[in-house]
Amino acid sequence: MPGHGRRRARIAFSDAAAKQLENLTSEAEIHALDRALVVISVDPDVGDPIPGDTTGPQLRQYADEIEAVRVLYFVTALRTVVVVAYIEV
């Protein structure tokens, strides 16, 4: 459709990240994480690449110092899904 931007990537969570998500209790933490996930879903390349093994998907890190959030994630080959591996709020 004309006038519409790129589609946002869908967010999925690894088992470890899902468990971390369950432990978030404050509204401020949940809000901060939501904001970070929106940024990542709109532009999956926003995070900095983490050096390491090149055989799998490139692990990236997105950190927002203002919201005090750090998310480690990778993007699937078709760039339609962002898999969150680790959350720090």
Check: CB of residue 62 under 8 Å from CB of residue 70.
yes
10-88 has CATH 3.90.550.10 classification? no
What pLDDT score was predicted for residue 57?
A: 81
What pLDDT score was predicted for residue 73?
A: 97
What is the DSSP secondary-structure string of the chain?
-TT--PPPPEEEE-HHHHHHHHT--SHHHHHHHHHHHHHHHH-GGGSEEPPS-SSSPPPEEEEETTTTEEEEEEE-TTSSEEEEEEEE-
pLDDT tens digits, the chain, 89 residues: what are they? 455 566 899 999 999 999 999 999 899 999 999 999 999 999 999 999 998 877 778 899 999 988 889 999 999 988 889 999 999 98
Residue bearing tokens 């962002």:
82
Extents of the domains making up the chain:
10-88
Query: pTM for the complete prediction?
Result: 0.85
